[in-house]
Structure 1
Amino acid sequence: MTYEEKIRAVADLLRAHDRNFALTGAGISTESGIPDFRSPGTGLWTKYDPTKVATLSALRRDPASFYDFCIPRWTSYTGARPNDAHRALARLEELGYLVGVITQNIDGLHRQAGSKRVWEIHGHLRTCHCMSCGETYPFSTLVEQYEGGQNPPLCGRCRGVLRPDVVLFEDQMSEDFFKALKALSGCQVMLVVGTSLQVYPAAGLPELARRVVIINREPTPWDERAEVVIHESCGKVFRDLMAALGEPL
């Protein structure tokens, strides 16, 4: 199929079914200025070993070094804004073409774009909590302590180490992941957007859909099984898809 035929095919799939979901990864946010993890040469994990810098054991072993690595990256997200792909997914939900968005991203851009039903299966950067007593704080508390010279950031109640409410390597999956598994019952079409489908258990979610559409710059393990595969930027694909549906952004 040509690119134009693929866009029409995706539009037809969304029109023909009413239990459709999107599964998104870091690639949807690159056009908002947030680097992804695995793109050759530019991905974060091509430069650093995630098993050494982004694990629960790394946080416990040397929390100061963990925060020296993570805080500058997390705070760089705060100026990011939703791009056309985020806005299109929110609009597709509003129009009834999507039930909601399941995202591996912690940047909060789907919510900023207006998506109402969002399952953040790897957590988010809105809150943090104490690893000792469980006290919850706004994420800004963690950042303010770090930027004020307190590293690692500590709980105001028991002086335990604070940690963000994100899913680190070695962590258990978030509650949203299990909610997403239930929500996906009967999923007819899954738009897989901006993810290389390398990290499990998120990479196994397309198994729960009857039809899968891949929208990603790089090839994925699902390309041979998907109904439609488009290797192009997410923003372009969704601008063209919305036009094909008669709902230009």
Structure 2
Amino acid sequence: MVGLDTPTNTRSAYPPSVADLLPRVREFAADLGECPSRNRIMTEFKVGAPKARAVLAALNEDAETKPARKLHAVTGPAEAEEAAPASEVPDGPTADESEPQVSAAADPGPRPKKARRIKLWPVLLLALPAFVAVWSGWVGLGRLTGFGPIQLLPGIWDHLTINSAITLPIGVETYAAFALRVWLSPATRTHRVRSFAKWSALGSLVLGMVGQVAYHLMSAADVERAPWPVTTLVSCLPAVVLGCGAALAHLVRDTTDQEVND
């Protein structure tokens, strides 16, 4: 006597059709989280290889029409495929032909070591005595060439005075440092800017050395008033420094020239 309740995994005298089997395989795939292979369908639902292939083909058609619900078939390495006649193989791709997807994390490799910055405090020790010598030389040369105390705001603040000789070291040496920075900086974008900064920086340094030599020679000779050629040259320095500084500032902002070719 046959019982009324029959397990779902037992073979029935009337095997279900593909249309009846397809909803059950869909539910099984949803619970499994992936598309079962042909052998898995044959084992779970007790059907033959042709009907399992037909169900897989229907699932693939559903996956093509609904990409969001597409499931990837996972084929076990130990599963053996039985040869089937060409007439029983349905058209279209099957789940057995798909390859398992393997994802591998790229090896980032060793991290590059962070470059250590060069300490700049020794430059301060070098610059301090040079600043004192250059400052005293320019101020002394300015005194010999007619630079001296002036009223900065005459008629407004008569007691506010300043020694105009300090304009020489501030103007010449500051511009030399600025031009050197532009010349040697990797951020300088054009060849014209780099060339102008280079030659003007070298010219400022040479001019500063000439001024120091002239002052010390006149100071050693107890000269109280510089000769007129020296006075003429020194009096033009503030205007020359202003023109070079303004020109270099405009060139630094210029982006129309060709890029620097290293």
**Fold shared per TM-score above 0.5:** no
Higher helix proportion (structure 1 or 2): 2
- TM-score normalised to the size of structure 2? 0.24
Which of 1 and 2 has higher RCO (CA within 8 Å, sep 6+)? 1
Q: Which has the larger radius of gyration?
A: 2
Higher strand proportion (structure 1 or 2): 1
- TM-score normalised to the size of structure 1? 0.25
